Structure 1
């Protein structure tokens, strides 16, 4: 069953990357974290966002969260540059079968393989990363 869920999530993530104003890539962070581990989920989200910003060479960034704006999803976050509020990354935290998967998407400017390695190196045994490349 997990494989079917993963395939569905990968397909949905790929749909988010379809051509628009900028070319996007994505990654899915599969966790074993549940609702009772929000603090760890938050820290993991920030750590992955930092890796994406580093690989995009975006400079200093901050996180804009759904908690800050009623028109933005509650479990949706964006990494924006401090200099000009430019888009660096966006993610959605999805509770699926009692644990969270976090779908990130970002401009396809860096080395996807190196980014996946950097995210995979985050010291958390409850995490598995899947890369999804746009067109």
Structure 2
């Protein structure tokens, strides 16, 4: 994997790092860089649904649905979770961030997913993606695919 110097947006990378720091479960992440503008809400929703399918497939937890934070006081707007249909378990969470006129989507999910395959799958769909994982020293490493 490449060093942090290969990251497209250092500030966003550092913010993503703070989401992955050790907690109740080990997390990994992916930052999906888009060219979608703030006027393309429908396209953002479609992309979130598409990436839900990718992450759910790699997480191996079965079918998922997307819980929108817009109707939940525990979430901010443009914050979503993928949850299992069977048992309502956490699969992933994301925030859609409008930065410099286009959206980036920050996903995080349990670190036991095959990170390399997951990131490659997103990249194969034509999206620029930065992989964010904790290394053994609890320091972040990243690579852009």
TM-score scaled by structure 1? 0.90
Distance 1:51 1:112 in 2: 11
Partner residue, 1:16: 19
After the TM superposition, which segments of 4 or more aligned residues of structure 1 sit over 4 Å from their partners?
Answer: none
For residues 10-49 of structure 1, the aligned pairs below 5 Å read 10-49=13-52
Partner residue, 2:131: 131
Give CA-to-partner distance per residue, 1:59-80, whole Å, 9 cap, x none.
0110000122133111000000
Give CA-to-partner distance per residue, 1:40-73, whole Å, 9 cap, x none.
1111111112111100101011000012213311
Query: 3-state DSSP class of the match of 2:132?
Result: strand
For residues 63-74 of structure 1, the aligned pairs below 5 Å read 63-74=66-77
> Aligned residues, how many?
130
Gaps of 5+ in 2: 1-5, 139-145
Gaps of 5+ in 1: none
Instruction: Find 2:123's aligned residue among 95, 115, 120.
Output: 120
**Higher relative helix content:** 1
User: Is the Cα contact below 8 Å between 2:96 and 2:103 reproduced in 1?
Assistant: yes
Distance 2:94 2:63 in 1: 18
TM-score scaled by structure 2? 0.84
Distance 2:97 2:103 in 1: 5
Distance 2:65 2:119 in 1: 21
Aligned-pair Cα RMSD in Å: 1.5
